[in-house]
Structure 1
Amino acid sequence: MTGVSITVGALGDRWGRRRILLVGIAVFTLGAVVGALAPTLPVLITARVAQGVGAAAMTALPLALARDVTADGQTGRIMGVLGTTSAIGTALGPALGGTLIGWGGWAAAFWMMAPLGAASLLLATALPSSDTTPRPRGRFDISGSVLLTAGVATYAFALTSPGSNWPTAPLLLGAVALLGGFAAVERRAAHPVLPLATLRHRSITTGMITNVLVATVMMSTLVVGPYALHNGLELSLPLVGLVMSVGPVTSAVSGILAGRLVDRTTPAVMITAGLALVTLGAACLALLPLWWGVVGYIVALIVLTPGYQLFLAANNTHVLSDTDPAHRGRIAGALGLSRNLGLITGASAMGVLYAAIDAGMDAASTGSLSAMRATFLVAALLAAIATAVSLVPFANRRTLTR
């Protein structure tokens, strides 16, 4: 999903965003059926690869399509709606999937995806076409797409394979080499899948950097949170699940409001405001549970998640509104790529940090609380860096037109 995000976005720019979205949903749904019927692990892995490709289209292209059909001044509220629906899915997915697995085994989770995918496919046929948008011409950049996908996938695999027989350092070096090859190819390509000029564009550059950092912070709450609540605050597992649901529920409630606020103000200002709230929320996660217990943890989530929704709505609005319509698919893919890289990095790096500190303490509950504090203080530092990045001035503020 991470590796092909930009590629599917570029395909949407070239052959129509609704068309590629429909293909992506169909591939995802077919992958669910194959996964449910998979007789062996290799078949299951192949089905999941197909679902990853389909999911990349399903997450990137709706952003571009939403901007295509939305008038200026109303983009924020649409991005807020998308953020709200994403939060609802985040809240329902684990609970519903866990219930189905307990009832019908692991294949039941895949069978659940099949009708949902079919319904999504039916709904997507009603989306307006973006055929009026000028499309890039010339040969598609296959070499660049392959190198980018391979480099990102290698990086993702390196971070998600600690403890396995695959050495992390060589995989990271391989990822650097592949991405370096991608950069070299893009400099010479007549029609690059991701023009390197985008990296000199203020909104896109800051949008991707802050996306990585904020996603790392948010993933730390999902990875570290359950252990901190169970081992540190000594909550039962049902209560852990209940407390963890506060984040997605608050996101679902605040998403639409955040989008409307973006439309009434300036997206760039709201990006910084959202990042400041994320920084404060991460700091609260580090400190308040030590003082107020589970109440402090809940208060911190109520501060953190609206800030995340405000940042998300403002960042997506700012980036896509400042992008040439002909390139919105690939830039939406770049936003998805950066977010997924942050999620992967957060799951690995922040989890390792928490585990290392927890293992070095004698008492289980004390160690878990100390590890939680240290991890979320690092998360607050990352969010503060993202806030500073959002304030850095760039010389080039022109809309990307290449």
Structure 2
Amino acid sequence: MNSHTHILIIGGGLAGLTSAIHLAKAQISVTLIEKDIYPKHKVCGEYISNEVLSYLDFLEINMSELKPVKISELNISTKKGKMIKSKLPLGGFGISRYALDHYLWNKAKTLGVHMINDQVLDVKYDQNIFQVLTTNNNTLTSDYVIGAYGKRSGLDKNLKRDFSNKKSPWLAVKAHYKAKFDANTVALHNFDGGYCGLSLVENNTVNACYLVNYKSFKKYKNIEEFEKKVLYENPNLKDFFEKSKPVFEKPITISQINFDRKKPVENHIFMLGDAAGLIHPLCGNGMAMAIQGSKILCELLVENYSTKMYSSIELEKLYVKQWDSTFSKRLLAGRILQKVLLSNRFQQIAQKIATIAPSIVPGIIKQTHGKPIVC
């Protein structure tokens, strides 16, 4: 198949699908390529900050149809189980990627987005035209390409991105459970070598997603042994896992998660979501960042589609400037916060400070979250 589209999106996750919906609403020709078939579970914390609600309304994405869970409280525990409790300044909601991505896929399709189930092998750029090659021998051309293909991809190596050949020590594990759990709360529980997030999603189901250093994990035979020997050292996690019933036949995992700095534009491709920059799950705001990044890029593309004000190079510079202005401080705060809270000594100090001055915690949370989006 050979075809031309104005904008081609690689990846049908949160960033790619919200972008497709935004652009299609503006009557722009969009093709989206996604390698997976929905509905499908993904490794994700499944929590979204309320900062993006007005943008979702603008896109006519009716979240109430998916019955998300409203969340307003944050609990953080040290490895020994001592708790820090705080209000979430903006609050948020829990929704599974299984439900949300499928909903967005169908909405984009209804709006006329050309949806292709395939995998992109390479992207070439010559004389202001992109040529995109896929595993099914499709060759597509476009005026612009958006890279929204997630945390890692073989495409990164083909594009010779700086981080693509570096080994990363991080492994993520995710599963759903049936358990008694405070619907208003998202919990982050530390353990030796990592931390685990717990929060409710739709259908009274708890999402448990943890990040662990692979050196810590590889000492054990399997996930179950690791959880019992390591996670259970935190009494909060021990209590949860012993009293919960797994929904999945087995947890899903992803390895080589890289938190190095990434460039928002590579080889003239506009990067979005985790492909542009991954915030540590401890900061719990990656989904909102993916959605807000889509808004930043799509507003520029829609404006230029009608006015032709900017050249491609000028658009790239504008996007990088706005992306950095919006997210660079959050990502830096996330890296610092993770280093602090993965240290047992700093955990103890932080717990004591938070007990004496509880108002300090919401202030720290604000460093990894944005202000409510105005549409």
| TM-score clears 0.5 | no
Structure with the higher helix share, 1 or 2: 1
Bigger relative contact order, structure 1 or 2 (CA pairs below 8 A, ≥6 apart): 1
For normalisation by structure 2, the TM-score amounts to: 0.26
